[in-house]
Amino acid sequence: MKKKKEKILSRRVKKRGCANKWKSILEGVSKDSPSLSRAYHLTRKASRVGFDWQDIKGVLNKLDEEMRELREALFLGDKRKIHEEIGDILFVMANVSRFLGIDPEEALKKTIDKFVSRFHYIEASLQMAGKPFHESNLMEMDRLWEESKRKEKKKFRIVGLRVKK
């Protein structure tokens, strides 16, 4: 359906002789880019022509709105709407990142690395205790997760000051 609308619009533009005269502000952002990065760059381009919030509060209000819509979709059990709202939230988060000057791909990569490190800690701790996962429970694994976080923080302290990773 979307492709059909695009073809119709393209034909109309060509008939009017505008095909070579009009160029979108959003051109130049590769469709092959990772989605978070693409969202970041698209919102950056739109921002350059004034399509942006005045401050971070506006972006965060949009995030709140999208979260409310996700909760509503979850309540209704509407899978299609849930999928759409998750996409909207991820897009807004890329926009929050842009607004704060943070590369969303890099931020997500660091979080994934933290997750893997902490999960490895859980695995190693259970293995050292001779305990397979099926004999553990969420409470124990959460305790080990928090223990891993505390050890991580200690590892990155220098002279009583916390150092950012």
Backbone angles phi, psi at 19, to 5 degrees: -55, -40
Do 19 and 13 meet the contact criterion of CB atoms below 8 Å apart?
yes
* CATH superfamily placement of domain 29-102: MazG-like (1.10.287.1080)
Note the helical H segments in 16-162: 35-48, 56-76, 79-100, 104-128, 138-155
pLDDT of residue 142: 97
Query: For residue 45, which of 30, 64, 66 has the smallest C-alpha distance?
Result: 30
For residue 2, what is the enclosing H or E element?
helix 2-15
Q: What is the dihedral of CA 71, 76, 82, 84, to 10 degrees?
A: -100
Residue-level pLDDT at 22: 80
pLDDT at 159: 44
What is the per-residue pLDDT for 152?
Answer: 87
Domain map of the chain by residue range? 29-102, 107-158
Q: What percent of the chain has pLDDT over 90?
A: 77
Can you read off the two tokens belonging to residue 88?
């909207």
Instruction: Give the per-residue pLDDT at 16.
Output: 56
Cα angle value 84/90/93 (rounded, 5°):
140
Task: Kindly list the averaged pLDDT for each block of 10 residues, start to end, along the chain of length 165.
Answer: 60 57 90 95 95 95 98 98 98 96 96 96 96 96 96 70 53
State the pLDDT at residue 163.
52
> Is 58:49 a contact under the CB 8 Å cutoff?
no
State pTM to two decimals: 0.77
